[in-house]
Chain A
Amino acid sequence: MKKRGLALIMAGAVALSSAGCQSGTGSRETVDKGGETKTESTASAGEATTAAISSEKVKLTICSPDNTFGLSTDPELQQSVIDMLKENTGVELEAIIPPISSYNEKLETMMAGGDVPDIFAISQATTRLPNYVAREQVMPLDSLIKSSVKLSEIDQDYYNALAIDGAVYDIPYYYPRVKGLFLRKDIMEQYGIELSNTPTTEEFITEMGKLKGTGIIPFSFPKWIDNFQFFMNSFGAYAGIYKNADGVYVDGMQEPQMKEALNYLKELYDTGVMDQEFITTENNTMREYVYTGKAAADIDYVMNYSNYILQSELAGKATDVQPIYMLKGPDGKGGGLNESIQTAWCISSECKNPEAAIRVIEALVTDPEIHAAFYNTGVEGKHYNIEDGIAVPTDKAANSGYSIKYNYLTDSFIKDFTTLKFQPDEKTQKVLRIQRDMIEMAMELKGDKQMIPSGISSLYDETSASITNTWKEVVSQIVLSSTSIDEGLKTYKNFWNSVDGDTMLKELNGH
């Protein structure tokens, strides 16, 4: 009996191993000169047909956070967008969709571990892209862009915004993002606040000061210190290292105009115009304060105008909001908070099929149907159904928090979305027209944004993150009155000396 059992096990093992051999030798993948992956038959002539059919099949990994793939965190719904993308590009895709809150950590871990996705979205591109280029993890895309008619139509300036040493390593999919201030018009009218779209810094403090003691937060602000740059622009100050008008790299924290900017920020806080609890306020909470009328104003992307109209209505506090594109400082300087192009697509330098990768990116960036599905609406029948020409979320999608967004109509490089089966209602279309005008105005009045390429100064490459963290810490301490301006700047100067900042500037300036 024991012998029979043993024989049975051995027979099973032999059968399994032979099956394994068959699957292992039946085909092999090669990459031809054109970059196309071919599946070649190595078994028999009878399998040649199968190989020919699968010769066009290419499997690439694509990595993008969970606020893409149809704006739903439901895996089934995400899969429907992946399927749509596969169907339209003919490229087999394996999607990696990390939560947006951990996206950068996940991507960095994968890249450091040698698992660079073939196609991936980057955020904070001005900071991260130079590192990826220095580590040779991304591919130059100039020739691939030239080979694509649709991608070539995008204004070269948007590619150049993140170009490094004249080479393009990313493909943007939105216009540069600019932040301005939004003010609730109902509160402005009720309390007699009179401000233009480009008031002076003094006018802003004086007018918003009218709300003190009313129980309304005059100006809600998020905990993200980078947003202070909006006010620094009014004084010609720039937090971080930048190239000044003479073409020389300097440290913005040590320039004289920074002191004026910090004085103004401190005044905003000390006079109670800025939310006293801003240091713990999330972007979401800040927005909700304005939607609900708890706050009169906040700072946000100009492209979010429509959200204020729709969300304040949902909150039962409907109002229009007025944008402030810039605050004019004492010398008439100023500008919107220019975040430049911070999100874009890259292709891994080890991608075995760049042609297929660019095909996917081209579809995501330039195809109206795929762009809308990927970044906003999802797939018909899965995320939404069309009723009388209007898209209505399915129950399954709505349960995961999904709602129809139309921002792609104003943000993307695609000019014409009329081919889509559904359109926003009249009211939304009107709001979006206003939003587009606002975006154009914000683009004209945007402030400075600079990117320092990696590889010029090793000192800078090593310490740039610490410099950013330190100025943020010092500025927040100054605004919160934990330290005086002089003491704060002295602390910063000590840090600067500790990282040999002057040598770094010399390196950057090529001395």
Chain B
Amino acid sequence: MNPKSRIKIKESNSRKIFRLFNALFLAVVCIIVVIPIWNVVVTSFAQDQDVMGGVYLLLPKSFTLKNYARVMNSGYMRGFWNSMFVAVSGTALAMAVTVPMGFALAQKKLIGRKIIMRIISITLVFDAGIMPFYILIKTLGLIDTRLSLILPFAVSTFNLIIVKNYMSSIPESLIESAKLDGCNDFMILIKIVLPLAVPILSAVMLFYFVSFWNRYTEAVMFINNSSRYTLQVMLRALVFQSDGSLGEGNAVYDNTKMAVMVLGMLPVLIIYPFVQKHFVSGLMLGGVKE
């Protein structure tokens, strides 16, 4: 249909008022979300004396790149690269496991499909806690290895369900046609399903990346050698450094802390725009119950 030929529908006043309030409400929500991030960024560029005494900076008092220079030349970069390694390899492994699993579970002819799904779903509800988890990791010989931060999180039940639901929505006739053309299951997954599942794969990939990137508790509990600590561990150490009960640490000012925080946010901020266009549609489609 030619767009010019569309009939213009007149909006009622109540509709206009609703839209106005809607816009105002969303603007307030945006401000609430943006202000802390803005504060972090502004503080990260401030001089030492401008951030002392619990000051909440919203307008820059000064501008210096010294804090970023400090961070770039400090041990925090090792944490950054450790996090990057865990997040990238973890996401790759998780995608490699989740996608075939989701594809297999989406096949209606799979024997015991429902039972398998129910068993998997139990992990959504029950969590044994850190102690059994520690003993499991210890038994597997993974204590103090980066693998302890990757292997146990290779499949997220939530992400698996989203992928499986999305793949269930792909018309069976497409898969049948591919089979008639001589494709095996693996070829169908690669050549037919994956190109159609780009939106959901983008969303799930982002979920995995963020979850690996932000992992903190396990990194503290399972890693002993501080050279393998992730950025999140170092960041928390930095924030609470001089607040402990075991004597006094260094007085690290908020500007340096915020510079490390910006560094911590950066990878996700960089990745998000690239997957943004698929993000909402992927989630909507994957979230539809079978």
A residues sitting closer than 8 Å to B (CB atoms) are 65-68, 71-79, 94-103, 105-106, 109-110, 112-115, 121, 123-124, 174, 281-285, 287-289, 291-292, 294, 301, 304, 307, 311, 314-316, 342-343, 375, 395-396, 398-403, 405, 407
Chain B residues with CB under 8 A of A99: 220, 233-234, 236-237, 240
Chain B residues with CB under 8 A of A76: 75, 78, 227
> Could you tell me the distance between the alpha carbons of A471 and B251 in the complex, rounded to whole angstroms?
31
Chain B residues with CB under 8 A of A287: 251
> Could you tell me the distance between the alpha carbons of A161 and B134 in the complex, rounded to whole angstroms?
34
In the complex the two chains form, is B240's CB within 8 Å of A100's CB?
yes
A100-B229 contact, Cβ under 8 Å, with A109-B134, A400-B75 = no
Select one of B74, B240, B247, B250 contacting A375, CB under 8 A: B247
Chain B residues with CB under 8 A of A77: 75
In the complex the two chains form, is A66's CB within 8 Å of B226's CB?
yes
B52 at the interface (CB under 8 A from A): yes
Select one of B49, B52, B53, B227 contacting A75, CB under 8 A: B227
Chain A residues with CB under 8 A of B134: 109-110, 112-113
A66-B237 contact, Cβ under 8 Å, with A75-B226, A294-B54 = yes
B57 at the interface (CB under 8 A from A): no
B121 at the interface (CB under 8 A from A): no
Most buried by A among B71, B74, B239, B252: B74
Select one of A109, A288, A399 contacting B221, CB under 8 A: A109
Chain A residues with CB under 8 A of B70: 398-399
Chain B residues with CB under 8 A of A115: 138, 143
In the complex the two chains form, is A399's CB within 8 Å of B71's CB?
yes
Can you identify 11 A-B contacts, CB atoms within 8 angstroms?
A66-B226, A73-B238, A97-B226, A100-B240, A101-B237, A105-B220, A106-B220, A113-B134, A287-B251, A311-B251, A398-B70
In the complex the two chains form, is B73's CB within 8 Å of A395's CB?
yes
In the complex the two chains form, is A291's CB within 8 Å of B236's CB?
no
Residue of B nearest to A289 (CB): B53
In the complex the two chains form, is A401's CB within 8 Å of B221's CB?
no
Chain B's interface: helix, strand, loop or mixed, by majority?
A: helix
Ranked nearest first, the 6 interchain pairs of A and B with the lowest CB-CB distance are A74-B75, A99-B237, A292-B53, A100-B244, A101-B240, A399-B74
B148 at the interface (CB under 8 A from A): no
Select one of B52, B240, B245, B251 contacting A123, CB under 8 A: B245
Residue of B nearest to A99 (CB): B237
In the complex the two chains form, is B53's CB within 8 Å of A315's CB?
yes
Instruction: Tell me the number of A-to-B contacts counted with CB atoms below 8 Å.
Output: 157
Distance between A346 CB and nearest chain B CB, rounded to angstroms: 13
Q: Other CB < 8 Å A-B pairs besides A115-B138, A343-B245, A396-B73, 14 of them? A: A72-B250, A73-B237, A73-B238, A73-B241, A75-B78, A99-B236, A101-B243, A102-B236, A103-B246, A110-B134, A114-B138, A115-B143, A314-B49, A401-B238
Select one of A109, A121, A400, A407 contacting B248, CB under 8 A: A407
Residue of B nearest to A177 (CB): B247
> Could you tell me the distance between the alpha carbons of A113 and B131 in the complex, rounded to whole angstroms?
7
Q: What 0/1 readout, one digit per residue, does chain B (206-240) give for beta carbons within 8 Å of chain A? A: 00000000000000110011110100011011111
> Could you tell me the distance between the alpha carbons of A250 and B233 in the complex, rounded to whole angstroms?
42
Select one of B48, B234, B241, B248 contacting A314, CB under 8 A: B48
Most buried by B among A78, A288, A400: A400
> Could you tell me the distance between the alpha carbons of A297 and B53 in the complex, rounded to whole angstroms?
13
> Could you tell me the distance between the alpha carbons of A123 and B73 in the complex, rounded to whole angstroms?
32
B256 at the interface (CB under 8 A from A): yes
Chain A residues with CB under 8 A of B76: 73, 400
Residue of A nearest to B250 (CB): A401
In the complex the two chains form, is B74's CB within 8 Å of A65's CB?
no
Select one of A98, A100, A105, A109 contacting B249, CB under 8 A: A100
A291-B250 contact, Cβ under 8 Å, with A67-B244, A74-B75, A401-B256 = no
Residue of B nearest to A108 (CB): B131
Residue of A nearest to B82 (CB): A75
In the complex the two chains form, is A96's CB within 8 Å of B224's CB?
yes
Chain B residues with CB under 8 A of A68: 246-247
Chain A residues with CB under 8 A of B58: none
A284-B251 contact, Cβ under 8 Å, with A78-B226, A113-B131 = yes
Chain B residues with CB under 8 A of A72: 75, 250
Chain A residues with CB under 8 A of B248: 67, 301, 304, 307, 405, 407
B288 at the interface (CB under 8 A from A): no
Chain B residues with CB under 8 A of A281: 54
Residue of B nearest to A395 (CB): B73
Select one of A94, A106, A123, A284 contacting B242, CB under 8 A: A284
Chain B residues with CB under 8 A of A395: 73
> Could you tell me the distance between the alpha carbons of A113 and B139 in the complex, rounded to whole angstroms?
10
> Could you tell me the distance between the alpha carbons of A68 and B27 in the complex, rounded to whole angstroms?
47
Distance between B62 CB and nearest chain A CB, rounded to angstroms: 13
B135 at the interface (CB under 8 A from A): yes
Distance between B22 CB and nearest chain A CB, rounded to angstroms: 33
In the complex the two chains form, is A315's CB within 8 Å of B49's CB?
yes
Distance between B246 CB and nearest chain A CB, rounded to angstroms: 4
> Could you tell me the distance between the alpha carbons of A218 and B236 in the complex, rounded to whole angstroms?
30
